[in-house]
Amino acid sequence: MPSEEIRYKVMRLVEANPELSQRDVARELGVSLGKVNYCLQALIRKGWIKAANFKNSHHKAAYMYLLTPRGLEAKARLTLQFLVIKMREYEKLRVEIEQMRRETEAGSQR
């Protein structure tokens, strides 16, 4: 099963750009095409994303990936989870930076 973070990032990209190809998503996220394909298939099985055919500008069939209502709800939950995680990471970094700043100031006063 793809990681929650990859799932979340794929869902964000698909919601913002439903016509992105799997190759575009892979490039944007810096992951393999196979990982994106696996993740999208898992999201489709969960009913969070649906794939719809459309004709792209090169006159060949392509897919448009759309978040379903259940997918939108899941994305909202994942957004909240990642917001909490990122806020904790930010707070830890803020404390670490402040400590390093104090150490640097104390070292330069000697």
pLDDT at 30: 95
Residue 50 has pLDDT above 60, yes or no: yes
pTM of the model: 0.74
For the record, the structure tokens of 39 come out as 């993740």
Q: Residues 6 or more apart from 56 whose CB is under 8 A from it?
A: 19, 62
109 in a structural domain: no
What share of the chain has pLDDT > 70, as a percent? Answer: 91
Q: What is the mean pLDDT of the chain?
A: 89
Q: Mean pLDDT over residues 36-50, rounded? A: 95
CATH code for the domain in which residue 60 is found? 1.10.10.10
Q: Mean pLDDT over residues 29-51, rounded? A: 94
100 in a structural domain: no
69 in a structural domain: yes
108 in a structural domain: no
* Domain that includes residue 39, residue range: 4-83
90 in a structural domain: no
104 in a structural domain: no
Q: How many domains does the chain have?
A: 1
Q: Residues 6 or more apart from 81 whose CB is under 8 A from it?
A: 4
78 in a structural domain: yes
102 in a structural domain: no
- Angle CA 49–52–56, to nearest 5: 125
